[in-house]
Amino acid sequence: MQELDPTILKKANSWLEGNYDADVKAQIQKMIDDKAYTELTDSFYRDLEFGTGGLRGIMGPGSNRINKYTIGSATQGLANYLKKNYPGEKIKVAIAHDSRNNADLFSAITANVFSANDIHVYYFKALRPTPELSFAVRHFGCKSGVMLTASHNPKEYNGYKAYGDDGGQFVAPHDDAVMDEVAAIKSIDEVKFTRVDANIEEIGEEVDALYLDNITTLSVSPDAIKRQKDLKIVYSPIHGTGITLVPQALERFGFENVILVDEQSTPDGNFPTVVYPNPEEKEALTLALKKAQDTDADLVLATDPDADRVGIAVKNTEGEFVLLNGNQTGTMLINYLLTAWEEKGKLTGKEYIVKTIVTTYLLDKIAEAKNVTCYNTLTGFKYIGELMTKFEGQQTFIGGGEESYGYLIGDFVRDKDAVVSSAFIAEMTAYYKDKGSSLFEALLDTYVQYGFYKEKLISLTKKGKTGAEEIVAMMDKFRNNPPAELGGSKVITLKDYGKSIETDLASGTSKPIELPTSDVLQFITEDGSIISARPSGTEPKIKFYCSVNGKLASKEAYAETDKVLDDKINTIMKDLGV
């Protein structure tokens, strides 16, 4: 039988003896009595870390779990940070939650703690998408905001995302300062849980209307929508918050034939019809794809539980529904936006788009052709938001995104937004249909015009202490002994974002990388392939993002060229020993 580490028992006993609820103590005592030592160890072996994005973890009792006390401590730390940074000011925050189990409870606890610290809370009285929380922070002039969500994680998880005064997630140096304040909470007795009603103001439909009014003004092709208003759109919120706003946004844009996936339209934190509520996974779109086939739809849209990411399916040239990946959807959105802006005479030379360094470089090429600046940031939408705030009032943000299915159009929000993205994906589908094309054919046209870029993400899971050491060793090897050749092409550039240095491997000359440091390596080959190696910050994984490209002679050559590029990716991964 497994022995219990005495330090785990000591920590569990501190909860049994501390100022915690009786039901929490009963659950902990039961684990001890039942000798459920693995569960007890997982619950107490560490304190759930408040990272740069906030908290995320499995729900349950214990210091390494999402519960009233870890949520309360995080909020007290954030409140302490706000009071130190805005002395003498009346501080305002906004709070929202998604459809996850206990999300409403945790959002109420968050509101209570802020209110007890004499902070005014704008509190969404029912579930809402993450982007609307970002919008509310900006609209109400808040100093911070909190979204209770675990994005697309399994049903056992919940989480806590913290936002700054621009409506984006905290970035340096503020993220470290908030983390320090949260880490400084050493006892649950330091947390003020007693609600002050006068400091909590409920919000809801009036903010929905403002948000929808704003994004509707962004529409670029209303005439095409009028002609294609009967476009058949199948939509699934995958049991999440998208149901509150996505159908309304589509209606506001002018679409009259939106078909809901009824089995997934009721918010439910158990996500009963899917294994994972993740629109990146084909399995999560099974019901939507069946509905699309049954109704002969033009477009399938599916959003994740907090409606900040969207997956889509379209018909290929054989009339079969295929899922587009995040790079393909992002490419089509940006290409459509830049083309439509150009046709309307709206491009002045001051416009820009933003993407991350692991997102397709086809976007850089399209932007260059349209005389629009393309900025690259580190992975994480908070960096895109930071750049938008930096350029606010100086340059015009058209759109941006990342390969992990998160996009943003317009500058009313500072986080990825599946509501506005869904509306614009529908708009561009109408735009191309109005020209006698499908979205898939337009993608092939884009490849013919700019080059066929194909990307693949390979994740290696390395669990435990030895796994973590393996990942460190792999990065050290790649950093100190970069491969000479990948996929039959010479490696000419090494970008080391950890050292902020870009090296020309032929000449040995280097220049600085003007981005914050991050443990990412990029190899660029003579033929334009880009391979990025990046350890995950939240999981025991190392991720390889592989981007290759070639010429697509014609739409008819798509399948053949696709296979050539796929084979090239496989060769590159073998060359890397992955």
How far is residue 134 from each of residues 101, 124, 147, measured CA to CA in Å?
22, 12, 9
Helix orientation angle between 6-17 and 22-33, rounded to the nearest 10 degrees = 150
238 CB burial (10 A radius; 0-12, 13-18, 19+): buried
Contact present, 92 and 120 (Cβ < 8 Å): yes
DSSP state of 162: E
- Which amino acid, residue 203? I
Provide the CB-side half-sphere exposure for 554 (13 A, CA).
2
Q: Kindly report the number of other CB atoms within 10 A of residue 373's CB atom.
A: 15
The encoded tokens of residue 232 equal 């058949």
How far is 233 from 60, CA to CA, in rounded Å?
39
Q: In sequence order, what DSSP letters do the residues of 46-76 get, joined into one string?
A: SPPP-BTTBEEEEBSSSTTSBSHHHHHHHHH
CA distance 47 to 65: 8
Residues 281 and 228: their CA atoms lie apart, in Å, by 29
Catalytic positions: 151
| Contact (CB, 8 A) for 411 and 397 | yes
How far is residue 1's CA from residue 576's CA, in Å, rounded to a whole number?
A: 42
The answer for residues whose C-beta is within 8 angstroms of residue 33's C-beta and 6 or more apart is: none
Type and span of the H or E element at 522: strand 521-525
Q: Give phi and psi for 208, each to the nearest 5.
A: -55, -45
* AA letter at 402: E
- Is the preceding omega at residue 482 within 30 degrees of 0, hence cis? no
Instruction: Read off the tokens for 194.
Output: 């007693």
